[in-house]
Amino acid sequence: MKKDIFKIAGKSLKSRLIIGTGKYKSFLETAKAVEASGASIVTVAVRRVNILDKKKPLLSDYIDPKKIIFLPNTAGCFTSEEALRTLRLAREMGGWKLVKLEVIGDKKTLYPNMIETIKSTKILVKEGFKVMVYCTDDPLLAKKLEDNGASAIMPLASPIGSGLGLQNKVNISLIIKQSKVPVIVDAGIGTASDATIAMELGCDGVLINSAIAKAKKPTLMAKAFRDAVISGRNSYLAGRMGKNYFATASSPTKGLI
Amino acid sequence: MAKIQLNGKKVVIKSKYSILDLLKKYDLVNKKIAVEHNGVIVPKVFFKKKYLKNNDKLEIVHFIGGG
C-alpha cells in the first residue's frame, strides 16, 4: 500500500490534526493538550507584549517552537492591511513563512471577508509566504484561493467557536474533490466525531481549538481528537461500503437447516 | 529625555536610547519578538543602531495562544 503522507507547502507532517492554543485556562493546560493531541502544528496569535509585567510567562516557554510548528494567524484582523501587517511581523519574529490567513468580516459570526481574503492571499504569495487560508465553504471562492497560490484551503465547518460541527457536507465535499492543495476543515468542530466525519469525507486535516480548550477535560479531549482524526482518515482510505435501502443478510443462506 | 509611545503607552526614555536598550529594559533581548518603529518593521540587526526620538511610535509583539 502506498504510504499516506500529509504535506503542506512541501513539508511532511506526522499528524493531520492542527490545534489552536487559545482559550485554555493556563499555558500548562495548553501544553498538555498539545502533547496529548499529537499535533505537529499549533496556531498562535500575534499580540503586543505586556510591558507592564516583565515576568509574565510566554507561550514559547511551554511549547517549544523547535518541536512543534507555530502557525501564526491573523485572528482579529478585519482588513487586508491589518492581516498583512500581522503576518509580516510574525515572519520577522522567527522566519515563519507558513502562515494562517483569516480576514474576518463580521464580529457576530466571525465569518470571513472573502474579498479581503483573496486580496491578501495574492499579496502574501507574492511576498513568498506559504498561506493557509481560512475561508467560506463556497467551492468557487475556494478555487479562486487555490488559483492565487494558497498552500491550503481551510473552509469553516460552522462559525468559529460555535461547536455546531460540519453543517454543509456537500460544499466541503465539492471543495475536496476540486482541490489539489490540502483541504483542512477549520472552525466549528464541536466534538471528536465531527472531526471523524470531516476526515471520512476526505479532508486532509482538521483544525481544532474550542472543542478541546472548552471541553471539561481538555487533555482527554485532545487525545480523543487525535484518535478521531486517525480513524476518520483510515475509514476514508478504506472506502466505505455502499448504502442499500433493504437488508442484506450477513450470514450465508446456503446450508440453512 | 524623550517621550515615546510603546505598545500604546507613553514611556519616557533617556536620550541616545536604542531599540536594543529598550529591549534590555523590558527583558526582551533574544526573545521571540518583532519590533515595528513608526509603522516600519525593524530587522533584528538594526536594534543596536536604531535610536529612538521624541514622539516615536513603537510596537513590540510576540506570540500568544490563539486559534
Rounded to two decimals, the ipTM of the complex is 0.91
User: Residue B2 and residue B9: Cα distance in Å, rounded?
Assistant: 14
| Shortest Cα–Cα distance, B58 to chain A (Å) | 10
| Shortest Cα–Cα distance, B38 to chain A (Å) | 13
Residue B18's φ and ψ, nearest 5 degrees, are: -95, 170
Per-residue pLDDT, averaged over A17-43, amounts to 94
Task: Give me the sign of the Cα torsion angle A215, A220, A222, A223.
Answer: negative
Residues of B in contact with A72 (CB under 8 A): 63
pLDDT at B67: 82
Tell me what percent of the residues of chain A surpass a pLDDT of 90: 84
Count other C-beta atoms under 10 Å from residue A63's C-beta: 20
Specify whether the CB–CB gap between A157 and A164 falls below 8 A: yes
Q: How confident is the model at residue A249 (pLDDT cuts 50, 70, 90)?
A: confident
pTM for this model (two decimals): 0.89
Are B43 and A209 an interchain contact pair (Cβ–Cβ within 8 Å)? Answer: no
Residues of B in contact with A68 (CB under 8 A): none
Specify whether the CB–CB gap between A42 and A21 falls below 8 A: yes
Higher pLDDT, A7 or A52: A7
Pick the residue from chain A with its C-alpha nearest to B64: A45
Per-residue pLDDT, averaged over A201-215, amounts to 96
Strand arrangement, sheet containing A152-155: A98-101, A130-135, A152-155
B residues 43-62 near A, CB within 8 Å? 43-44, 59-62
Q: How confident is the model at residue A241 (pLDDT cuts 50, 70, 90)?
A: very high
Are B65 and A160 an interchain contact pair (Cβ–Cβ within 8 Å)? Answer: no
pLDDT at A1: 62
Q: How confident is the model at residue A60 (pLDDT cuts 50, 70, 90)?
A: confident
Per-residue pLDDT, averaged over A191-209, amounts to 97
- Residue-level length of chain A: 257
Partners of A20 in the β-ladder: A43
Query: Which regions in chain B score pLDDT beneath 70?
Result: none
Which residues of A participate in catalysis according to the annotation?
A: 100
Contact partners, residue A227, CB within 8 Å, separation at least 6: A192
Per-residue pLDDT, averaged over A48-53, amounts to 85
Among B32, B44, B60, select the one facing A60 at the smallest CB separation.
B32
Chain A interface includes B40 (CB < 8 A): no
Task: Give me the sign of the Cα torsion angle A46, A51, A53, A57.
Answer: positive
Are A160 and B59 an interchain contact pair (Cβ–Cβ within 8 Å)? Answer: no
Per-residue pLDDT, averaged over A1-16, amounts to 89
Per-residue pLDDT, averaged over A84-89, amounts to 95
Amino acid (1-letter code) at residue A57: P
Q: Compute and round to an integer the Cα radius of gyration of chain A.
A: 20
A·B CB contacts under 8 A: 98
pLDDT at A64: 87
User: Residue A40 and residue A75: Cα distance in Å, rounded?
Assistant: 20
Per-residue pLDDT, averaged over A104-119, amounts to 95
For A137-194, how does the pLDDT look when each residue is reduced to its tens digit (9 = 90+)?
999 999 999 999 999 999 999 999 999 999 999 999 999 999 999 999 999 999 999 9
pLDDT at A203: 97
Q: Whose CA is closest to B66, among A209, A48, A100?
A: A209
A residues 180-209 near B, CB within 8 Å? 207, 209
User: Residue B51 and residue B43: Cα distance in Å, rounded?
Assistant: 14
Pick the residue from chain A with its C-alpha nearest to B61: A48
Per-residue pLDDT, averaged over A235-250, amounts to 93
Residues of A in contact with B13 (CB under 8 A): none
